[in-house]
Chains A and B, each alone.
Chain A
Amino acid sequence: MKNWDIEDFGTDSLFAETIKLAKIGIYELNVATNQIYWSDVTRDITEVPDDFVPSLDNLASFFNEGHYRDMARDAMQNAIAKGESYDLDMEVVTAKGNIRYVRNVGNPKMENGVCVKLFGFLQDITERKRTKIELTKKIQQLNLAEQLAQIGYWEWDIVADNILWSDNLYRIFGLEIGTPIHFERVIEAIHPDDRKEFRENAQEFIAEKRFRKFMHRIVHKDGSIRTVELIGELIMNPQGEVIKMIGTTQDITEQRMSEIKFRGLLDSAPDTMVIVDRNGIIQLINKQAEKMFGYKSSELIDKHVTVLVPNRLWDTMEYYAVNFFKAPKHTGLPADLDFFVHNKSGFQIPVQVTLSPLETSEGLLVSIALRDITVQKQAAHRILETNKSLRESAKRLKAQNRQLEEFNQITSHNLRSPVSNLSALLDIYKTESDSETKEMIIEKIESVTNHLTWTLDTLVESLLIKKSSQQALEKCHFDKTLERTKEMLAAEILKNEAVITSDFSEAPTVMYNKVYLESIFINLISNSLKYKAKDRTPEIVVQSKMIDGTVQLEFRDNGSGINLKKNGHKLFGFSKVFHRNDDAKGVGLFIIKAQVDAMGGKIWAKSEEGKGTSFFINL
């Protein structure tokens, strides 16, 4: 079949090999005979059987009816009739019914203005076509993703100042897709207040060869303002010069708005709020926190929360943090925890702590609410203090009450009885006619008046003792005091042949009111002499001891003794006497009790009737 021009290339030729490898199929139409030649590759592409003979009549079956069939027919007719070449990308249907994409190129061979032959070749481009479709799909998806995420992509050729934007970035900026973009055009779209920073950032990134995430606002034609965030990186040439900047711009207006809302909410909280992540790194603090801690927000963010807590409480804090993350829920730390934070100057503030979980896109955070409880603590402290002083007052009041009761007793008995006597005497005086009796009544009135005067004097004395409890203390030597007492009672001692011995070795001295101490000695020793046993000579022992840091005096006698069961309650009362004794005025013990009380001491007695009495005094 030498009539096929194409066969002239020779089947063994380099060309034939090449076109075979490139999967290029050849065809030839002899216009005069209407005979068609298909090369092996053409037969492969069309998947025809070996015995298939292509002809003008069966060509149409390789094209789906419609667009591609018309396209193929028109191209052939034009080539034959007008000698026009063609180069088409088209779909073919193989003999086995598969769809393939081919590049179909045709060249008419003209002789004397008439087309005699049509040479053409087919290239199977199905793979390429598929890839392209795939790519288109991918780009569409990317576009969609960009739109959904409100992200746009940009590429800035710094040298040429040419900026490439993705479609969505145009949408974000509210500009028509395809508008040529350069640096100043971008600046124009930026909010006037943010332009300076944008320029400075761009310069800084280029100078430092490092991109830093930042935000700016843009103003749309309609005046609406959007906030965007930029992330990018720098591309350098082999010389290390920055030639390109690429990155994304995300519209974070909604995010920003909710962040602003959250911030507002946070700042309007009455408590100090510190938001930390699982590792204890501070993410966010509110205005109250700045106030409480004296740090700026920027000084605390990204720091560990321990900077706010005294070392001694770190373990406590860790314990509650671990528990919290085990089961994150709103947790109030115990009110009696005694937790403190310290501020920038190291001052410690007592706080009530509440932990709350905060779910965020960056993971679980813990929101720590702190309430300054200094005032409550102070109040509690004041209450404690007040309680203490109340207890002391109550104690003092009780003591005063006891004194008042004593006075009530005294006025009831010791003042009222002479007064009632006087009144009775005067009544009798009025009705009495006998002048001798009248004289006697006057004498009695005098006696009552004297008694009354004495009672009042004694009372005044005891009042003075109570009032002057802050008397100057002096160092008193017991042996000297006893010596003076003996001198003062010399006559009584001699008369009763009393034996007075003493032992002050354990505590020879005491810091005391000298007058009171002498009063104690005189009263107790003279009592012992007065109430001596009738059948034996008085023996009196005076002894000082040191008991638990307190000096104790004991006056022990072998006198008649007192029935303390019966009379103990009135032993130290005013004008209480327990003996039928002319000298008994019952005021000595009352006075020394007042003196011992005034000095903060204690006096008590032990006694056995018929054996003797011991008085003990804690000075």
Chain B
Amino acid sequence: MIMKPVNVFVVDDDDIYQFTIKVTLRSIPAVQSTSTFADGAEALEYIVVHQNEEDKLPDIIFLDINMPVMDGFQFMEEFVELLPSLQKSIKVYMVSSSMDPKDIKKAKRFEEISDYLIKPLNSKDIKEIIAKL
């Protein structure tokens, strides 16, 4: 099975998590590149700057909820506005250590969020997600 190369964005302020996810993603052949952002604002800024460069935009965003400056939900509000002008379809996955039902409920309100995933993510989970693309 030949898979299309995939760009992944990880938006999370936790550097340990950044480290572990990068290691995990590296082990998956389909993943072409991984970019990390410490908060929603940084990621959004990048997308806005590169909105016309399809190969620089991600196929998948793993988005944390709790981040300084702009958290996951604040990011989503801005991102939803931006989405129609983008050439590429981007899947957003909310990734959090929180099992708080309030967070899960809030995430479901965004139809642009494909799923709510509980940390930690292992390579098996990620492969399944890529396979669904």
- Show the binding face of A for B, using Cβ within 8 Å: 408-409, 412-413, 416-421, 423-425, 427-428, 431-432, 444, 447-448, 566, 570, 575-580, 584, 586
Contacts and interface: CB of A to CB of B under 8 A. Distances in A.
A13 B103 CA distance: 151
Nearest to A418: B16
B98 A425 contact: no
Interface stretch (B2-10, B19-27, B47-55): B19-27
B23 A421 contact: no
17 contacts: A408-B100, A412-B98, A412-B99, A413-B66, A418-B16, A419-B97, A420-B17, A420-B119, A421-B14, A421-B17, A421-B20, A421-B120, A424-B20, A444-B16, A570-B71, A575-B66, A586-B68
Interface in B69-124: 69-71, 74, 96-100, 103, 118-122
Contact of B100 (A412, A417, A420, A431): A412
A412 B96 CA distance: 9
Contacts of A423: 120
A448 B65 CA distance: 19
A310 to B, nearest CB: 59
Contacts of A409: 98, 100
A578 B68 contact: yes
Contact of B99 (A416, A425, A448, A575): A416
A255 B71 CA distance: 97
| Candidate in A409, A412, A423 with the most chain B CB atoms within 10 angstroms | A412
A412 B120 contact: no
A497 to B, nearest CB: 26
Contacts of A575: 66
A447 B120 CA distance: 17
Nearest to A437: B23
Contacts of B66: 413, 417, 575-576
B39 A580 contact: yes
B119 A578 contact: no
Contacts of B44: none
Nearest to A447: B16
Given A420-B97, A566-B70, 6 more contacts: A413-B100, A424-B120, A425-B16, A428-B23, A575-B66, A580-B39
Given A579-B68, A584-B68, A417 B14 contact: yes
B68 A417 contact: no
Interface of B: 14, 16-17, 19-21, 23-24, 27, 38-39, 65-66, 68-71, 74, 96-100, 103, 118-122
Contacts of A577: 68
Prevailing SS type, chain A contact patch: helix
Contacts of B71: 570
Contacts of B118: 420
Contacts of A419: 97
Contacts of A428: 20, 23-24
B120 A420 contact: yes
B69 A412 contact: no
Nearest to A428: B23
A427 B16 contact: no
A566 B98 contact: no
A425 B19 CA distance: 9
A416 B97 CA distance: 5
B98 A413 contact: yes
Contacts of B19: 444
Contacts of A424: 16-17, 20-21, 24, 119-122
Nearest to B14: A417
A586 B66 CA distance: 12
B99 A417 contact: no
A409 to B, nearest CB: 6
Contacts of A566: 70, 74
A580 B119 contact: no
B97 A413 contact: yes
A580 B120 contact: no
A584 B39 CA distance: 14
| Candidate in B17, B21, B24, B27 with the most chain A CB atoms within 10 angstroms | B17
5 tightest A-B contacts by CB? A424-B120, A412-B98, A416-B97, A417-B97, A424-B20
A584 B70 CA distance: 15
A570 B102 CA distance: 14
Nearest to A421: B16
Contacts of B14: 417, 421
Nearest to B70: A566
| Candidate in B20, B74, B118, B119 with the most chain A CB atoms within 10 angstroms | B20
Contact of A578 (B27, B65, B69, B98): B69
A428 B121 CA distance: 12
B16 A412 contact: no
Nearest to B100: A412
Contacts of B96: 412-413
Contact of B20 (A413, A425, A576, A584): A425
A430 B78 CA distance: 39
A529 to B, nearest CB: 18
